[in-house]
Structure 1
Amino acid sequence: MSGTVLFDAPGPRARVRNMVVSVITVAITVLIAWVVYSRLEAKGQLTAAKWEPFLTANLWTTYVLPGVQGTLTAAAVSIVFALALGFLLGVGRMSTISPIRWACAVIVEFFRAVPVLIMMIFAYFLYAFYDVFASEHLALAGVITGLTLYNGAVIAEIVRAGVNALPRGQAEAASALGLRWGQTMRSILLPQAITSMLPVLVSQLVVVLKDTAIGYQITFVEMVRQGTVVGSSYGNYIPALIVIAALMISVNFALSSLATRLERRMRRSRRGPAPLEAEAVEQEGAPGAKVV
């Protein structure tokens, strides 16, 4: 019997129809790409002269590298703070103490509802008004604050969903053993939930990296802003944005690859012993045990 899990294998007519649709889709895509390329070529945006500035060290040291540094700095600090805040609020929302649970719920729902840009602008002017940071660090502090508060609230919901997705018997067994709620959460539930939450957490961390571009509204120096500055200075907007897009994709891909490797390693480390190893441990721990 031929077929897949979700649907039966297509018959002769369906295969022909699928082939025709695929060919038409590819042809339309190629046509659109050709039209876009022709327009850009006619505007002179893809000529070799437009790419030559990227072969000079001055462009990279003056524009691109400061933007990369600003993006990575804001993203790295925001990710650390957002993870810490998210786990704190997520665990707080599951607390057995009602005031803590309600306070964390209000904080999470509030910062999830407020746009990131509003929080960045508010933090920027608040820090400037009270002279909290030096002027050269105001924009960075505003970006980090906005990203931390918003993504911390989102990560809190991810943590809560990951813990609630575990079998209820885990908590019941821990309670039967006499473990307190904090011990159960710290030693049993959170370690298991982190592995299942990791793909969603990585997606949210990529969002943090991309949302640093919003900081240009408060004069923060980041990659996308610097790309537009390069395009304005050298008259090569399309090549500049292509280079910036390639850099952003590379950073996001590196972050995703690192998280994938970490997830695989965590899953391997949580596997139980192999049957032979378990049997050997049983025999070693109980010398008089009968082996079947």
Structure 2
Amino acid sequence: MSSSSGPVLYDVAGPEERARERRISLVLTVVLVLLGGALITLLARNGAFNDRWLVLVDVPTNFAGFETIHVWQAIFRGLMNTLVAAVIALPLAALLAVLLVSLRASPIVPVRWLVTGVTEVLRGLPVVLMMFFGILVLPGATQLTAVVFGLVLYNAAVFAEILRAGIAALPKGQTEAASSLGMRSFLTYRDVQLPQAVRMMMPSLIAQGVVLVKDSSLGYIVGYAELLRSVSRVADALTNAQYLLPLLTVGAAVYIALNISLSRLAVWVQHRSSFARKAPARITGAPPIP
């Protein structure tokens, strides 16, 4: 066993085990490199790396209707539309989720049943179907309104379930301690349970926020000019299927960069929140805020 002061739950690897791990890692690395090389070779044989990629830097001029369209201009416009839908839908979904999970904790049994049923229905419906409902039900609804409507309803239900799971996972001593201090159920929920559930379930909430951004691409179905639809319209304007691969690759890269940025931003906010909670303990010697 290790001679370190901290407790361990496993034996520390010896020289032979470490050497075996290095050999296994080397073999797996070689296998991955070979598979990657085989994939690149296969794509090259199928013409994936020919001059079709020049469409990203040198727009062909021999395609009808392309004089007023530029590839990167269309991609940027689609990206902005995607961000608009996500920026509007994300806070609205979070607020609706807090409302749903709060009503689900209501002492009135019929209210709990009703909110539970609504949450399960919203989770069970496809996002695209909700977007269609937005077009048909909301008076004067635009494509953006329909996209936001579908994203908000579905993701609010998922956010609510994540928060409910976080609240259920809290130790019962939290509620008992709040009750002993004379806090009523609503104050206990607002000041003790909900903040801790948000912090505990932050990774899951971040992951669902990334899903919300990606689901904005479903606005393509209702005619919303988000990133995927913008890329498709450029490909249609070029009237040549070979340009679809580089255009979709750029669209995929933009989605990946956008979602990674969102994840890093959420992690930074979480770290800042932890720093703020621990600051009183470092300054006054008091225990950190739970």
Length-normalised TM-score, structure 2: 0.81
Q: Deviations over 1:7-59 (max 9, x none)?
A: 54556776666555544433443333233323333343323552343466822
Give, in whole Å, the separation in 2 of the partners of 1:2 and 1:55. 62
What is residue 289 of structure 1 aligned with on the other side?
none
| Structure 1 unmatched runs, 5+ | 280-292
Q: CA RMSD in A?
A: 2.7
Q: Does structure 2 conserve the Cα–Cα contact (< 8 Å) formed by 1:90 and 1:157? A: yes
1:166-185 to structure 2, matched below 5 A, reads: 166-185=170-189
Question: Counterpart amino acid of 2:221?
Answer: Q
Question: Counterpart amino acid of 1:89?
Answer: L
| Structure 2 unmatched runs, 5+ | 60-68
Identity over aligned residues, as a percent?
Answer: 37
Aligned: 1:58 with 2:39: no
Q: Which moved more, 1:224-233 or 1:260-269?
A: 224-233
What is residue 32 of structure 1 aligned with on the other side?
35
What is residue 284 of structure 2 aligned with on the other side?
277
Change (3 A) 1:276 1:269: closer
Q: Which moved more, 1:103-112 or 1:5-14?
A: 5-14
Aligned: 1:74 with 2:58: no
Q: Does structure 2 conserve the Cα–Cα contact (< 8 Å) formed by 1:91 and 1:159? A: no
Give, in whole Å, the separation in 1 of the partners of 2:24 and 2:204. 34
Q: Secondary structure at the match of 1:96?
A: coil
Question: Counterpart amino acid of 2:71?
Answer: L
Give, in whole Å, the separation in 2 of the partners of 1:271 and 1:98. 39
1:252-291 to structure 2, matched below 5 A, reads: 252-271=259-278, 273-274=280-281, 277-278=284-285
Which of 105, 118, 133 matches 1:107?
118
Q: Which moved more, 1:196-205 or 1:19-28?
A: 19-28
What is residue 214 of structure 2 aligned with on the other side?
210
Q: Does structure 1 conserve the Cα–Cα contact (< 8 Å) formed by 2:135 and 2:146? A: yes
Give, in whole Å, the separation in 1 of the partners of 2:268 and 2:283. 27
The structural deviation recorded for 1:276 is 7.2
Q: Secondary structure at the match of 2:278?
A: coil
Q: Deviations over 1:187-218 (max 9, x none)?
A: 22222222212221111100000111122122
What is residue 133 of structure 1 aligned with on the other side?
140
Q: Does structure 2 conserve the Cα–Cα contact (< 8 Å) formed by 1:46 and 1:239? A: no
1:203-242 to structure 2, matched below 5 A, reads: 203-232=207-236, 233=238, 235-242=242-249
Length-normalised TM-score, structure 1: 0.81
Give, in whole Å, the separation in 1 of the partners of 2:218 and 2:163. 26
